[in-house]
Chain A
Amino acid sequence: MSLLADLLTIVGVGAGAFFFLAGTVGLLRFPDTLTRLHALTKADNLGLGLIVLGLLPRAGLSGGLKLIVIWALVLLASSSASQLIARVAHRGERER
């Protein structure tokens, strides 16, 4: 059981870290603002989700609940924030 939990932690956290790497690469390499934005939000939502998943077995009940709330908040925030940023970027391009 504990082995299984440890395995979940290692896989989850490792994969999460990888997605953060992917998000960074996307932010730096992708050609224009909107594609960068897409890549970024996908990657960091997924990355944080996987890390939270990996940490769940080690966090206890109330701690785990908090972790999930945090993830949900980040999902909410980043989707709205990216929409807002996208609007600004879109308008900026039209004006240019």
Chain B
Amino acid sequence: MSLLFDIVLSLIVVALAVRVIVAEDGFAAVVSFAAYGLLVALAWVRLYAADVSLTEVAISGGLAGMLLIGAASRLRAIDARAAAQRSGRGVRLFAALLSCGVAGGLGLAVLALPDPAPSLAEAAVANLPPTGVGNPVTAVLMAFRATDTLLETVVVVLALVGVWSLAPDRLWGGRPGAREHADPNGPLAFLARVLPPIGVVVAVYLLWAGASEPGGAFQGGAILAATWLLVIMAGLSDAPATHGHGLRWLLVAGPLLFLAVGFAGIWLADAFLAYPTDWAKALIVAVEVAKLLSVAAALGLLLLGPPRRIDTP
């Protein structure tokens, strides 16, 4: 029964993916992609990866969906022109053949994976106690492979610097996005008043739950970012000016605190990014809180794009 469910789900996912590529209409492609993301989140649940499913929903479904839908509407004008440059039938056929070859090879590789599968599940569970957290995925992210997570938060900040650097010179330091003129009585403003408190509660809940159950700073941060964007889109609050010092320190606070805790570990626990056993959970939660705020700010600003206007005094 459940295998049938998995097979049907996989087929729908692949069919949607094909449609994303072959749809004539660019907007239909983006919408199909959003639907695809939703179903992939279900697939993650079926793979016993609720943490990943949460991330997929929050980041890919929520943020990337908003981003791509916005971009598709703005690029509509040139869509038809670009589509006219479609490759010839021969090229497409050849490409399809090669893609099938690559996919086939990968399929073969999946089926040829060794049995019994090597796994670090036991090692992760065995080493869980000194980290003080109960969720093994959080332990991997914050302790066993904390370096990756640290570098990843830096990647997000760097991507934001990259996006900002696309602004024309005279707009550097200005506010991103268009100024929103929203109808204060419209449905959007209503949502933007009701949802944020709930969004904040859910984000904090996910962060708190992340220590023992699925959840964590990235998932919470993405939800916080989405909530913030809602308030901005409804015109209830303007996007921040990107030269603000408070904003910039907020952006780097998460990675900097992470680094500070990491270096403190050299003295307190004999290794960079090691936690003293008694303090492990408290430190991890503290870093997660700072990361939540930084990630939320960075993701929100990434979606808002480069600065587009300067305040005229």
* A residues whose Cβ falls under 8 Å from a Cβ of B: 73, 76-77, 79-80, 83-84
Contacts and interface: CB of A to CB of B under 8 A. Distances in A.
10 contacts: A73-B198, A76-B191, A76-B194, A76-B195, A77-B191, A79-B187, A80-B187, A83-B186, A83-B187, A84-B187
A31 B194 CA distance: 34
B249 interface: no
A34 to B, nearest CB: 15
Nearest to B195: A76
Interface in B182-200: 186-188, 190-191, 194-195, 198
Nearest to B201: A69
Main secondary structure of the interface of B (DSSP, over half): helix
A73 B194 CA distance: 10
Contacts of B188: 80, 84
Interface string B153-191: 000000000000000000000000000000000111011
A73 B195 CA distance: 9
Interface of B: 186-188, 190-191, 194-195, 198
Contacts of A73: 198
Contacts, number: 14
B198 A80 contact: no
Given A80-B190, A83-B187, A84-B188, 11 more contacts: A73-B198, A76-B191, A76-B194, A76-B195, A77-B191, A79-B187, A80-B187, A80-B188, A80-B191, A83-B186, A84-B187
Closest 8 CB pairs of A and B: A83-B187, A80-B187, A80-B191, A84-B187, A76-B194, A80-B190, A84-B188, A73-B198
Contacts of B191: 76-77, 80
A59 to B, nearest CB: 16
A84 B188 CA distance: 8
Contacts of A79: 187
Among A77, A79, A80, A84, the one with the most B-chain Cβ atoms within 10 Å of its Cβ is A80
A79 B187 CA distance: 9
A83 B190 CA distance: 12
Nearest to A72: B198
A44 to B, nearest CB: 14
A76 B190 CA distance: 10
A18 to B, nearest CB: 19
B208 to A, nearest CB: 14
A64 to B, nearest CB: 16
Nearest to B198: A73
Nearest to A83: B187
B50 to A, nearest CB: 14
Nearest to B188: A84
Nearest to A86: B187
Nearest to B190: A80
A84 B191 CA distance: 11
A84 B198 CA distance: 21
